[in-house]
Amino acid sequence: MRELVIISGKGGTGKTSLTAAFAALAAETSNSVLCDADVDAADLHLLMQPEVQRRTDFMGGSKALITPDLCTGCGTCRSLCRFDAISERLTVDPLRCEGCGVCVDFCPTAAIAFPVQRCGEWYLSETRFGPMVHARLGIAEENSGKLVSLVRRQARQLAEERGSELILTDGPPGIGCPVIAAIGGATALVIVVEPTVSGRHDMERVLDLAAHFRVPGMICVNKFDLNLEMTEAIEQVAAKRNGTLLGRVPFDPIFTRSMVAGKTLFEYGEETPTRQRVREIWNRITGSPAMHPPGIVDCKTTIQ
Amino acid sequence: MIISVASGKGGTGKTTVATNLAFALGSRVELLDCDVEEPNAHLFLHPVFERSERVKTPVPLVDESKCTFCKKCSAICRFNALAVVGKRVLVFAELCHGCGGCLLVCPEGAISETGRELGSLNFGRRDAIGCISGQLRVGETMAPPLIKRVRAAADPEQITLIDAPPGTSCPVIAAMHGADFVLLVTEPTPFGLHDLKLAMAAVKLLGIPAGLVVNRADIGDDQVFAYAEREGLPLLLTIPFDRKIAEAYSQGKLIVEELPAWRERFIDLYRAIETIVQGSTAAVCANS
């Protein structure tokens, strides 16, 4: 079983639109599992319209809660809290509470409770392209990395149960906690880059991260015709750093139009050159050495 | 005045709005790049960086010669950053949140603190515009403490413009908390709308007045506009999809430099924000 994670560093480069298009292509030949690991601002479900089969609460960390009746107002909690989460009136600001429990343990009258928080929920669903694991982190919540790890674990379990060869994971933007949780142990990454100064800058940081965690990265330039010079510069940087070049996708309003229709690129309108390009990119991904590392045995040949 | 530019969805134009607004104002303004995972504002504002500061977060350092291996430190740590195995104390520095609990609980005084590098703060200027950019170290998971340090370095005498990270979880809250106004930037697509709703929920939770900028306003559909009207979220600026704007952006150029007519629009945007903030402050004063 393999897991392909689609990330970008910079947001809004087309991760989710491409993940959905890949899901449509993957469904033509194999039974894959879809996973939305962008739990912070999950969008894949808008194109997949999953039918939720099971809904489970995600319990994250705990937060301090002062019981006024037991509190003597000594202020120990406030002086020990390093996160400025306790006000002068000795109430806890849940948005600042880090969940370290120091105040709980050092309160001389044991007046501080530490209830576990429900930080969101996750779903097992069915879609027209196969099963999907996705989640919704609560607003302003922490522990996005934990929830990402959870949905990926569930996707893996589901893939084992169903005998799926592939997990297709839509990753979060950035390089921090949720991204690190999304790429650890993945078979390979598709990094979707747009040809802008920020796209290039952010790709370099993501490549650093991929190298740090030793996950092979493949590069796809989206909206390449917005700046051809930058596209070439990006491809040079990527190649120099051993990022496999997958190809270029043009700026095409069909992505927005199909999104408005709640469909993938391959379900909306006519056969177009853009579709052909995405198909070629998908073939390069599935045929890439990165997706066929030693140790994974299946019917497909590895290196041509 | 602290204005946080946020969005929910990535790539909608937060940095475009924040940098152009800073440049249009021209002086008495400081831009804080709080998208520390992928800081981009400097690529458009082109500040000259004058100095850089490494930012660390405290992590425990155990003196095993004093340690009795009582395991109180590992018991108090909610983040599993300490483990006592036989006659060894293992510190998993990358899991540590720096709460200091282990230090407080150790009966032998065997724990002191050292630092784990979170990243850096880079201080620069573009003419009269200040710029502080936070940059998370590659491999570091914890963005919020670094974002808080960027915020703490701001000059309170200036207008503070915050370029926030995407999403709605803890890093975004760190970039919005305590702001006078949140300027939400979105695009009129189903993804843009969905994530705008999430960002609105965060803004409401914090109780901060907000306004909307719709970028690439002529793509997609009209659902974002209808939502803003229903929510009473004032639409303060629309930026059309214009290949000239997209190309200028791709090269790291500001709209207000390339298309000077936009300068006045961004200044008007600031004035509109000022009016809303003054109105809401007046309302708070009248109520108290």
What confidence tens digit (pLDDT) does each residue in B41-69 have? 999 999 999 999 999 999 999 999 999 99
* pLDDT at position B163 over 50: yes
Is B114 part of a structural domain of the chain?
Answer: no
Q: What token pair was written down for B30?
A: 């400081």
Identity of the residue numbered B255: I
Q: What token pair was written down for B29?
A: 């303004």
Q: Are residues B244 and B127 in the same domain?
A: yes
Q: Are residues B161 and B260 in the same domain?
A: yes
Q: Are residues B123 and B172 in the same domain?
A: yes
Q: Are residues B161 and B226 in the same domain?
A: yes
- Smallest CA-to-CA distance from B138 within A256, A240, A16, A211 is with A211
Q: Are residues A181 and A259 in the same domain?
A: yes
Q: Are residues B30 and B157 in the same domain?
A: yes
CA dihedral B74, B79, B80, B82 (to 10 degrees): -50
What would the mean pLDDT of A15-30 be, rounded to a whole number?
96
Using a pLDDT cut of 70, give the percent of chain B over it: 99
pLDDT category at A296 given cuts 50, 70, 90 is low
A46 touches B: beta carbon within 8 Å: yes
Is A79 part of a structural domain of the chain?
Answer: yes
pLDDT number for residue A293 = 84
* pLDDT at position A301 over 70: no
Q: What token pair was written down for A21?
A: 């298009």
Q: What token pair was written down for A253?
A: 């309003």
Instruction: Give residue A98's domain range.
Output: 64-114
Residue of A nearest to B165 (CA): A174
pLDDT number for residue B281 = 79
* pLDDT at position B2 over 90: yes
**For A219, phi and psi rounded to 5 degrees?**
-110, 135
Q: Are residues B98 and B241 in the same domain?
A: no
pLDDT category at B283 given cuts 50, 70, 90 is confident
Cα–Cα dist A267/B227, whole Å = 27
User: Distance, in angstroms, between B282 CA and closest chain A CA?
Assistant: 25
A243 touches B: beta carbon within 8 Å: no
Is B270 part of a structural domain of the chain?
Answer: yes
Residue of A nearest to B75 (CA): A105
Count of domains observed in chain A: 2
pLDDT category at A142 given cuts 50, 70, 90 is confident
**For A122, phi and psi rounded to 5 degrees?**
-130, 155
Strands A2-7 and A188-193 turn out to be parallel
Question: Does B79 sit within 8 Å of A176, measured CB to CB?
Answer: no
Question: Does A201 sit within 8 Å of B97, measured CB to CB?
Answer: no
Residue of A nearest to B102 (CA): A102
Q: Are residues A177 and A137 in the same domain?
A: yes
Name B139's Cβ contacts closer than 8 Å, sequence gap at least 6: A180, A209, A212, A213, B94
Interface of B with A in 119-178 (CB under 8 A): 136, 138-143, 165-173, 177
Q: Are residues B72 and B140 in the same domain?
A: no
Cα–Cα dist A31/A34, whole Å = 10
B78 touches A: beta carbon within 8 Å: yes
What would the mean pLDDT of A8-31 be, rounded to a whole number?
95
User: Distance, in angstroms, between A302 CA and closest chain B CA?
Assistant: 31
Q: Are residues B85 and B186 in the same domain?
A: no
* pLDDT at position A52 over 70: yes
Q: Could you identify the residue written with the tokens 């607003």? A: A139
Name B59's Cβ contacts closer than 8 Å, sequence gap at least 6: B81, B91, B93, B96, B98, B113, B114, B115, B116
Is A21 part of a structural domain of the chain?
Answer: yes
Is A168 part of a structural domain of the chain?
Answer: yes
B60 touches A: beta carbon within 8 Å: no
From chain B, the residues in CB contact with A201 under 8 A are 38, 40, 43
CATH number at residue B222: 3.40.50.300
From chain B, the residues in CB contact with A177 under 8 A are 141-143
**pLDDT tens digit sequence for B119-162:** 999 999 999 999 999 999 999 999 999 999 999 999 999 999 99
* pLDDT at position A76 over 90: yes
Name A303's Cβ contacts closer than 8 Å, sequence gap at least 6: A289, A292
Cα three-residue angle A179-A181-A182, rounded to 5 degrees: 60
* pLDDT at position B288 over 60: no
Cα–Cα dist B260/B255, whole Å = 8
Using a pLDDT cut of 90, give the percent of chain B over it: 96
B37 touches A: beta carbon within 8 Å: yes
- Smallest CA-to-CA distance from A53 within A148, A158, A123 is with A123
A106 touches B: beta carbon within 8 Å: yes
Cα–Cα dist B215/B232, whole Å = 19
Best residue in A256, A260, A268 for a mutation probing chain B (most B CBs within 10 Å): A256
Is A300 part of a structural domain of the chain?
Answer: no
Question: Does B139 sit within 8 Å of A176, measured CB to CB?
Answer: no
Cα–Cα dist A173/A88, whole Å = 37
* pLDDT at position A35 over 50: yes
pLDDT number for residue A30 = 86
Are residues B63 and A34 in contact, defined by beta-carbon separation less than 8 angstroms? no
pLDDT number for residue A298 = 56
**pLDDT tens digit sequence for A196-251:** 999 999 999 999 999 999 999 999 999 999 999 999 999 999 999 999 999 999 99
Instruction: Give residue B69's domain range.
Output: 64-109
pTM of the predicted structure, to 2 decimals: 0.94
pLDDT category at B282 given cuts 50, 70, 90 is confident
pLDDT category at A304 given cuts 50, 70, 90 is very low
Name A90's Cβ contacts closer than 8 Å, sequence gap at least 6: A66, A71, A73, A75, A77, A78
Count of domains observed in chain B: 2
What would the mean pLDDT of B170-178 be, rounded to a whole number?
95
Give me chain B's average pLDDT, please.
Answer: 96
Question: Does A82 sit within 8 Å of B99, measured CB to CB?
Answer: yes
pLDDT number for residue A303 = 37
What would the mean pLDDT of A54-81 be, rounded to a whole number?
96
